[in-house]
Every structure is written in C-alpha cells, then in structure tokens.
C-alpha cells in the first residue's frame, strides 16, 4: 500500500464526487488532490429514487451498528425485531446486509428458505404473520458457502436488496449491518438518502476495547448525518441460570458505557445480561420471548424495545 493510500483524510475533506473535491482549502497538499479534482462531481444514482419509491410504505428504517465484530449485533437485531413484533398491530421487517456473515436466517429459524419472485419483486420470508426477513443468506447454495466478493459486487447486492424486495407496508425495518464503518455502511446511507433513515442503534460490550470502536462509529454517524438513537450494552454481566447470581465477565476499566454516553451525548437504551438462553434460542431459531419470557434478558429487551418504540413514536 502506498503512502498516499495510507494517509488519513483531513478533518474538513470534502470527499470524492463533490463540487469541492480537489478544490477546497483542505485539499491543498493532499496527494490525491489531482485525482479528486479530475473526477468531478458524481452523477446522481437513479436507483436512489427507485429505492425511495419501493420503501415508501416503510415508516421507519433503523440501522443496527457495531464498532467491532462479536458483540452480538445480529442477535440484538433479531431480538429487537421479535420483541417489537409482539405487538400484533405492528408490521416488522429485518434486512440482513452483513453479506460475509448473514446470521439472520439461522437466528430467525428460516434457514434453507428460498427467495420467491413475483411481479412486484422478491418476497421476504415470513417468520410470523407480522415479521418478515430478507438476507443474502437466502441466496447462498448452502449455509457453509462463503461470499468472496469485492466492494462493487457487494454494493450491487445491497442495492438490489433495497430496490427489489417487496416489503409492503412496514412500521419498522431493522437493518443488520456488518461490523465497523466500511463500504457497506456508506452504500446503505447513500442508497437510503431519499427514503430516509430514522437513525442507528449501536451495540457494544462493556470493555474499553469495544467502546473505543463505538466512538469511531458515533463519529461516522455524525459525518453522514445519521442520528444515534441509542447504545445497547450487550453481555453486561453473566447471570447464573441455577443460583441467579450475577457476575461481571467483561469489566470496564476507565468508566465504561456511562462515561461514553456522557462524553458523546448518545443515550443508553439498556444493558443486556449474558444469559445462556440467548445462545440457545438463536441456535434453535426460536423466540426468546416465547420460550424464556420470564428471564432477565427478555425483560430487559422489552424495556429497550419500549424505549425505542417511544423514540420512533409508534
């Protein structure tokens, strides 16, 4: 990798594809100045308008983000959707754009389902009468197949999942994204520019190494004008299923989530305990709220979902 590729963009970098690219004051001295200036402003993507038309009946779109992998983002996405769908008057959808690790088919209990195409587009897979799922995992020949694609092809599939799926009328569409702040995140925010995104929910674990990446995620949200609806601390503590005593497994060292919320102003939606029943329900593709509705983790999900529903004015 060259020095130019490794160098960080200036704080006020206008980015590529804008009128100011290569011409702004921040561009002076940048090794990529001539390249950005020569490229000129990007032409509007006609599919952005088509996506807005396709999602016209989707009232709210919420991105689920995480700074790093392994914090339980997909699990939280699925359980937020299931919990919201407990209300039979709400129609909920889950869109899985974590292309390299599409977990939603397994977690939602619809692994092996095929995508059906009608005259109005791809039909999502229904888990409940008011809960539907669409994932790249449905397009793979087997659960063990790997997606070995470069950026443009992955972005093309994300666009197709937004443009060609016939969701119908939804109250909330939860979008499960890959970890980090990568190409897919920029694509989803650009493709939904006209359709509108209500905001993002960020999932983290308590230790500082995870919170460090959450700060980067919050900065990403600020740069793309994406509101942060709240942060969920997952695996906050372990609750023994026999004696019900709670122990901290992943301790925070320098203030933890409380300090982070004070520094950033992002609200804390709740703390989810590390409970074996969550892994059990995810592996079996069953509902945590039907099988373990009295558990502490299920009750905490209900509190978090209630706060999120209130924020979205549902």
Does the pLDDT at position 9 exceed 70?
Answer: no
Q: What value does the CA radius of gyration of the chain take, rounded to a whole number of Å?
A: 20
Which pLDDT belongs to residue 15?
A: 66
pLDDT band of residue 247 (cuts 50, 70, 90) is: confident
Which pLDDT belongs to residue 40?
A: 61
SS3 of residue 25 by DSSP = helix
Which pLDDT belongs to residue 190?
A: 92
Specify the length of the chain in residues.
Answer: 314
Rounded Cα–Cα distance for residues 52 and 116 (Å): 22
pLDDT band of residue 85 (cuts 50, 70, 90) is: very high
Listing DSSP states for 41-100 in one string gives: SPPPPHHHHHHHHHTTTEEEEEEEEESSTTS-HHHHHHHHHHHHTTSTT--EEEEE--TT
Q: What are the structure tokens assigned to 101, written together? A: 């690790």
Task: Count, in order, helices (H) and strands (E) of the chain.
Answer: 12, 12
Rounded Cα–Cα distance for residues 211 and 198 (Å): 23
Residue 160, C-beta contacts closer than 8 angstroms, at least 6 positions apart: none
DSSP annotation of 27 reads G
| Residue 265 falls in which region: left (phi positive, over 0), alpha (psi -120 to 50) or beta | left
Which pLDDT belongs to residue 106?
A: 95
pLDDT 10s digits, 106-129: 999 999 888 888 888 899 999 999
Which pLDDT belongs to residue 46?
A: 87
Rounded Cα–Cα distance for residues 60 and 41 (Å): 30
Pairing of strands 92-96, 58-66: unpaired
SS3 of residue 166 by DSSP = coil
CATH 3.40.50.300 residue ranges of the chain are: 46-311
Q: Does residue 200 contact residue 227 with C-beta atoms inside 8 Å?
A: yes
pLDDT 10s digits, 17-68: 666 777 888 788 787 778 777 766 666 788 999 999 999 999 999 999 998 8
The percentage of residues in the chain with a pLDDT greater than 70, rounded to a whole number, is 92
Q: What is the mean pLDDT of residues 7-22?
A: 65
Q: What is the mean pLDDT of residues 256-267?
A: 90
Q: What are the structure tokens assigned to 20, written together? A: 């100011």
Nearest C-alpha neighbor of 54 from the set 154, 132, 170, 139? 170
Q: What is the mean pLDDT of residues 254-276?
A: 89
pLDDT band of residue 83 (cuts 50, 70, 90) is: very high
Residues linked to residue 230 through DSSP beta bridges, in sequence order: 201
Q: What is the mean pLDDT of residues 290-300?
A: 94
Which pLDDT belongs to residue 41?
A: 62
Q: What is the mean pLDDT of residues 148-172?
A: 90
Does the pLDDT at position 78 exceed 80?
Answer: yes
Which pLDDT belongs to residue 141?
A: 76
Mean pLDDT, all residues of the chain: 88
Q: What is the mean pLDDT of residues 182-211?
A: 92
Q: Phi, psi at residue 271, to the nearest 5°?
A: -120, 125
Rounded Cα–Cα distance for residues 184 and 202 (Å): 16
Rounded Cα–Cα distance for residues 124 and 277 (Å): 27
Rounded Cα–Cα distance for residues 78 and 282 (Å): 9
Q: Phi, psi at residue 123, to the nearest 5°?
A: -95, 130
Class for domain 46-311, per CATH? alpha beta
Does the pLDDT at position 1 exceed 70?
Answer: no
Burial 257-278 (b: 16+ CB within 10 A, else e): beebbeebebebbbbbbbbebb
155 burial via Cβ count (<10 Å: 0-12, 13-18, 19+): buried
pLDDT band of residue 13 (cuts 50, 70, 90) is: confident
Which pLDDT belongs to residue 11?
A: 61
């Amino acid at each position: 990798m060259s020095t130019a590729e490794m160098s960080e963009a200036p704080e006020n970098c206008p980015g590529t594809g804008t009128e100011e690219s290569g011409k702004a004051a921040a561009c002076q001295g940048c090794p990529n100045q001539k390249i950005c200036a020569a490229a000129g402003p990007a032409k509007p993507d006609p599919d952005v308008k088509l996506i807005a038309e396709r999602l016209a009946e989707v009232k709210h779109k919420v991105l689920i983000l995480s700074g790093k992998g392994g914090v339980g983002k997909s699990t939280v996405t699925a359980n937020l959707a299931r919990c919201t769908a407990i209300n039979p008057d709400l129609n909920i959808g889950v869109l899985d754009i974590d292309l390299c690790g599409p977990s939603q088919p397994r977690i939602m209990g619809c692994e092996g389902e095929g995508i059906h195409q009608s005259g109005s587009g791809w039909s999502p897979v229904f888990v409940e009468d008011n809960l539907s799922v669409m994932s790249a995992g449905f397009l793979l020949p087997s659960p063990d197949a790997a997606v070995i694609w470069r950026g443009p092809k992955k972005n093309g599939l994300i666009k197709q999942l937004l443009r060609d799926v016939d969701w119908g009328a939804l109250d909330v569409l939860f979008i499960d994204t890959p970890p980090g702040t990568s190409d897919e995140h920029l694509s989803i925010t650009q493709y939904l520019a006209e359709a509108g995104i209500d905001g993002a929910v960020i999932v983290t674990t308590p230790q500082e190494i995870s919170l460090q990446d959450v700060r980067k995620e919050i900065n990403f949200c600020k740069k793309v004008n994406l509101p942060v609806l709240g942060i969920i601390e997952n695996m906050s503590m372990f609750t023994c299923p026999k004696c019900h005593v709670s122990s901290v497994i992943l301790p925070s060292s320098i203030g933890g989530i409380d300090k982070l919320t004070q520094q950033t102003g992002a609200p804390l939606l709740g703390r989810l305990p590390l409970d074996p029943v969550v892994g059990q329900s995810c592996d079996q593709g069953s509902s945590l709220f039907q099988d373990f509705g009295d558990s502490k983790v299920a009750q905490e999900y209900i509190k978090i979902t209630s706060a999120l529903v209130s924020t979205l004015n549902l």
